[in-house]
Amino acid sequence: MTRFAKNSLGRMVPAEVPGVGPFDPYSGPFQRINSVHGIVGASVRLRTVDRHGSKIAASLEQAIKNSGLENGMTISFHHHLRNGDAVMPMALETLKNMGYKNLTFAPSSIPDAHDCVADYIKCGLIGRLYTSGVRGRLGGLISSGEAGIPVVIRSHGGRARAIEEGQIEIDVAFLAAPTCDKLGNISGSSGPSACGSLGYAITDATYAKHVIAITDNLVDYPVARNISIPQYRVDQVVSVNSLGDPKKIATGAARITRNPVDLKIAHDTFRLMKVSGIIAPGFSFQMGVGGASLAVSVYLEEYMKKKGIVGSFGLGGISGHMSRMLEEGLFRALFDVQSFDAVVTESVSGNQNHVEIDSSWYANPFNAGCIVHNLDCVILAALDVDVNFNVNVLIGNDGVLRGASGGHCDTAAGAALSIVVLPSFRGGVCSIKDSVSNVTTPGETVDAIVTERGILINPLRQDLLALARGAGLPVVDIGDLKSRVEKLTGVPEQQERAGGEVVAVVEYRDGTLIDAVYRPER
């Protein structure tokens, strides 16, 4: 019988996840961070290789044999190749054929295309799942409760912390390497499968007990430019024909939306940023590539140009639009943990101020300074929100897992101004709930929510509220907007959640449980 605890948001979370271990309930965004100073984290396993030897393994199978991987151990992957990635399926299939069972599958996230992971759970290869998100058939399998394995969902910063704290002990990291030499120097920004930054992989390579680089672009030693991961972190190199589909790895730059609802949201978001006074010299910024987020940057770009404002840095998942703003001199630097399109890849390799950063540097709360803690403003998307400003980015209106935690809670906690953008209703359902089906990001770290029908400001930010009202922005009360929208959409039946079967737990970035995912009632 699982014991439950009520966390400080009133969510019932298990005190222990069988097969994983005990968890503390969430108690506030900075509670645990403030008490962590001085504790000792994970150790790095030392190993040496022969002088003048070779790291080239004849095959992936051979490399796996050499690595000493055993049943029950933990394997990791990165998701920088996005939906073009063929490395996760290739490695999982090889492991299955080699007869492995009950591995802990701990990728940085799982691309949408990888429904096949569901099959590797069903056949017993994957016995535990640690990820940032799950979607599609995999999301369906886990939500149904039929996966029968423990699932822990972590943010990008939370995953880096869990690795450095020792909760995720990576036994073998399988790293897709767009360019690699025979001793394992890896670059992400060149080669037929170039993807730009390898930010998440850098952390894995640093802490994994054994690292296998898998490349389709084995070049003469040395890879000189833009080394993402240095040779001293890499144990073996495997050459394969292809890492995946280059068209899906290096996608074209996202277009600015013409959706009028998104544009309205973007414009009001920009106006809120402006009245907050945060767009000043030295300004730092992160945004997503969703319709409304990306459109905010168009207004921002024009404004910064006109006013001659030079920002300090752009952060995050970097889009083509951000790299253009770097080129235009609107930011002095970009810190890039994950590149979103082909234009960015060129910027990573060509622009010295476009800096590839690892996930710990990006968002790990338990180090001496991750960049999100220095961020002025972040624009975030959401699936839905509740009247306490809590944000869900994981579970759809049908109760099924269909999203990723990403850097959402990390940046919301870190940024001085965190703004969630979302349409007031989607698919005929109001986006504002009494209580979200899942809290991914706590409302106490969200400053404002911008919808096409008004701007909602967290009562914790009376200063911002006064500025927005003073400037005549369309500020509305979150409860009022909810009722107004529900007049259009009707009120959906609330799903029963507590007491049901837990199919996954959601960690806050500090390692405490912010929520659990329950099997939806059928």
280 is an interface residue for other proteins by CB under 8 A: no
> Do 363 and 156 contact (CB within 8 A), yes or no?
yes
Q: Which of 55, 161, 210, 271 binds other proteins (CB under 8 A)?
A: 271
Question: Please, what is the minimum distance in Å from the beta carbon of residue 297 to other proteins?
Answer: 11
4 is an interface residue for other proteins by CB under 8 A: no
Cα separation, 419 vs 389, in Å, equals 11
Nearest in space to 403 (alpha carbons), one of 413, 411, 392 = 392
198-233 as b/e, with b when 16 or more CB fall inside 10 Å?
bbbbbbbbbbbbbbbbbbbbbbeeebeebbbbebeb
Instruction: Write phi, then psi, for 357 (nearest 5 degrees).
Output: -120, 155
264 is an interface residue for other proteins by CB under 8 A: yes
Q: Which of 77, 120, 200, 299 binds other proteins (CB under 8 A)?
A: 299
11/264 with CB nearer other proteins? 264
53 is an interface residue for other proteins by CB under 8 A: no
298 is an interface residue for other proteins by CB under 8 A: yes
332 is an interface residue for other proteins by CB under 8 A: no
224/471 with CB nearer other proteins? 471
Q: Which of 3, 37, 52, 306 binds other proteins (CB under 8 A)?
A: 306
Angle between helices 60-67 and 87-97 (to 10 degrees): 70
255 is an interface residue for other proteins by CB under 8 A: no
38/472 with CB nearer other proteins? 472
258 is an interface residue for other proteins by CB under 8 A: yes
DSSP 437: S
Question: Please, what is the minimum distance in Å from the beta carbon of residue 261 to other proteins?
Answer: 6
Nearest in space to 156 (alpha carbons), one of 463, 487, 393 = 393
499 is an interface residue for other proteins by CB under 8 A: no
Cα separation, 446 vs 269, in Å, equals 14
Number of residues that bind other proteins (CB under 8 A): 20
Number of neighbouring beta carbons within 10 Å of residue 239: 18
Q: Which of 248, 267, 426, 461 binds other proteins (CB under 8 A)?
A: 267
DSSP 280: S
427 is an interface residue for other proteins by CB under 8 A: no
401 is an interface residue for other proteins by CB under 8 A: no
Contacts of 211 (CB under 8 A, 6+ apart): 172, 173, 175, 184, 204, 205, 233, 234, 235, 236
471 is an interface residue for other proteins by CB under 8 A: yes
Question: Please, what is the minimum distance in Å from the beta carbon of residue 283 to other proteins?
Answer: 15
Q: Which residues bind other proteins (CB under 8 A)?
A: 258, 260-261, 263-264, 267, 270-271, 274, 298-299, 302-303, 306, 452-453, 471-472, 487-488
